[in-house]
Amino acid sequence: MNYILVGNQSIFLEKRMNEIIDSLVTDRDDFNVSFLDVDSLGIDDIVTELNTYPFGSENKVVILKNPYFMMDRKVKNDLNNDTSLLINYLKNPVSFSTLIIIINPKMDERKEIVKNIKKLMKVENIEGPDKKQATEYIRKMFVSANVKIDNDALQEFISRVPDDYTLIANEIKKLKSYSDRLTKEDIINLTPAKLEENVFELTDGIIANNKNKALKVFKDLRMNNVDPVTMISLVAGQLRFMYQVCYLKDEGYGAQTIASKLGVHPYRVEISLRKAYNYNPNQLLKSLTDLADLDISIKSGLVDKDNGFELFILKLGVNYD
């Protein structure tokens, strides 16, 4: 069985991915679980990896995250991008390899490759808890982390964090390092108020190439102990959302329809549409790519997270055409 996992919450996509891997592979290593960088590989390289026997294991798993050929984005390379190679493989896949394709947030349903590949792989839509379930789910996240939290503190926490469960998990981890028993006062002192609004301001500064504004908001967030890696994730989410709004607007859709398609409140779409004339799609995509590169460099230990983010801001406005 080969899988396509689709959703907009990384933590749940990775949870399902790990469930599949654990059901197939006993001891994980680089020989039986491969994460491939789709942007730097040709389709033929992916198929070759799938056809390569695992070492020391009966099964192997190959993971592709956000492949450009299934999403509304492009990459420039001189590699073999013939998607028919992958389709032909999936029509007669080897028994020892399982392919997992992770899509966040959505596939480009207009593409022929998407229409064909969905017929050959199992598609799973991975959703997080809805708004009614969110409070109890977040409470369980604190319980799992062995942290006790008062009811009023939990409500205060929920009002301060964005709707991103990966970031919520990181925030709980930070709070646990302070105390394993949290009160409302602790949350007020430790979790930045209106974090999402501050990120809106940071994102606006980035889009407008307003380096002074972006640097000021960045430093304010750092004063409130918001990690640059968290900022990267939040800003990237905003940029991705703005790009989707701009694209759907250009396709002729109104605010209500866009909100329905993206699964968000119409007011959020209306705010983005008011500012849409400031958005350059190439600029949005360039910033997303730069943030992804920065995230990898920070997590690989190649770049200091503070210096890296400040340098990203200082380079704003370069080569967006």
Dmax (CA) of the chain: 59
Of 108, 125, 142, the residue at which a domain comes to its end is: 125
pLDDT bin (cut points 50, 70, 90) of residue 320 is very low
Is residue 201 located within the same domain as residue 239? yes
165 Cβ contact partners less than 8 Å away, ≥ 6 residues apart:
9, 10, 11, 12, 128, 141
In this predicted structure, the answer to whether residue 155 has a pLDDT above a threshold of 50 is yes
Question: What is the β-pairing status of strands 97-103 and 181-182?
Answer: unpaired
Domain count, the chain: 3
Structure confidence at residue 321 (pLDDT): 42
Residue 113 placed within a domain:
yes
Contact in structure between 298 and 311 (CB atoms under 8 Å): no
Q: Report d(CA 240, CA 44) in Å as an integer.
A: 29
Is residue 220 located within the same domain as residue 254? yes
Is residue 158 located within the same domain as residue 251? no
Of 156, 190, 224, the residue at which a domain comes to its end is: 190
CATH code, domain with 223: 1.20.272.10
Residue 320 placed within a domain:
no
Nearest to 230 by CA among 169, 275, 280, 284: 169
Least confident of 49-53, 160-164, 311-315: 160-164
Angle at 186 between CA 182 and CA 187, to 5 degrees: 90
Is residue 307 located within the same domain as residue 249? yes
In this predicted structure, the answer to whether residue 317 has a pLDDT above a threshold of 80 is no
Is residue 177 located within the same domain as residue 230? no
Of 75, 108, 125, the residue at which a domain comes to its end is: 125
The residue with tokens 């605010």 is 255
Phi, psi angles (nearest 5°) of residue 265: -70, 140
User: pLDDT digit string (tens) for 92-130?
Assistant: 999 999 999 999 989 999 999 999 999 999 999 999 898
Q: What is the mean pLDDT of residues 47-63?
A: 95
In this predicted structure, the answer to whether residue 308 has a pLDDT above a threshold of 60 is yes
Is residue 209 located within the same domain as residue 289? yes
Q: Which of the pair, 282 or 113, is modelled with greater confidence? A: 113
Is residue 121 located within the same domain as residue 13? yes
User: pLDDT digit string (tens) for 221-272?
Assistant: 888 778 899 999 989 988 998 889 888 888 888 888 998 888 877 767 887 8
pTM above 0.75, yes or no: no
Structure confidence at residue 189 (pLDDT): 81
Residue 321 placed within a domain:
no
Compute CA 160 distance to the chain's CA centroid, rounded to the nearest angstrom. Answer: 20
Is residue 150 located within the same domain as residue 79? no
Residue 105 placed within a domain:
yes
Is residue 102 located within the same domain as residue 138? no
Q: Which domain holds residue 96?
A: 3-125
Q: Report d(CA 283, CA 243) in Å as an integer.
A: 10
Is residue 199 located within the same domain as residue 291? yes
Residue 80 placed within a domain:
yes
Radius of gyration (C-alpha) of the chain in whole angstroms: 21
Amino acid identity for residue 293 in this structure: D
Structure confidence at residue 122 (pLDDT): 98
In this predicted structure, the answer to whether residue 51 has a pLDDT above a threshold of 50 is yes
User: pLDDT digit string (tens) for 171-224?
Assistant: 999 899 889 999 999 998 888 766 777 888 899 889 888 999 999 999 988 887
Phi, psi angles (nearest 5°) of residue 97: -115, 140
CATH code, domain with 40: 3.40.50.300
Residue 36 placed within a domain:
yes
Least confident of 39-43, 250-254, 277-281, 284-288: 277-281
Is residue 261 located within the same domain as residue 207? yes
Is residue 202 located within the same domain as residue 291? yes
Structure confidence at residue 74 (pLDDT): 78
At residue 57, the 3 state secondary structure works out as coil
